């Protein structure tokens, strides 16, 4: 079993920054793909950013140039640096880990961008 614990969410004003963290623990073998998703009220969950075990990254168009995903493989931890936050970034952000053909989710952390 794999556990994911997110942290770093909160209330910020438009234009400000936040950094989310997600620490994975448990039965993890070999390479992993780690990602951040988000779900805004009344909307479907969407992929925000993904990083492979080799460091290759991809981003949703809506966050390109503002968000940066990174990881520390030795710690099984993934980060999401969010700059120039907008009200439309308000959502619950979920960490996801793919390993050995399985997908695991954290419980989410709320990010609210409001003046």
Go through 92-111 and write b for each residue having 16 or more CB atoms within 10 A of its CB, e for each that does not.
Answer: bbbbbbbbeeeebebebbeb
Per-residue pLDDT tens for 47-78?
Answer: 999 999 889 999 999 999 999 999 998 888 99
* pLDDT above 70 coverage of the chain, percent: 100
């Amino acid at each position: 079993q794999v556990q994911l614990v997110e942290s770093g969410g909160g209330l910020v004003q438009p234009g400000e920054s936040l950094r989310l963290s997600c620490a994975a623990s448990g039965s993890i073998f070999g390479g992993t793909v780690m990602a951040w998703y988000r779900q805004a009220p009344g909307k479907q969950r969407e992929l925000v950013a993904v990083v492979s075990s080799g460091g290759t990254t991809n981003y949703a168009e809506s966050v390109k140039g503002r968000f940066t995903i990174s990881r520390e493989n030795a710690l099984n931890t993934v980060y999401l640096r969010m700059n120039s936050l907008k009200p439309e970034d308000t959502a619950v952000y979920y960490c996801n880990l793919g390993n050995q053909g399985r997908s695991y989710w954290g419980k989410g952390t709320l990010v609210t961008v409001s003046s």
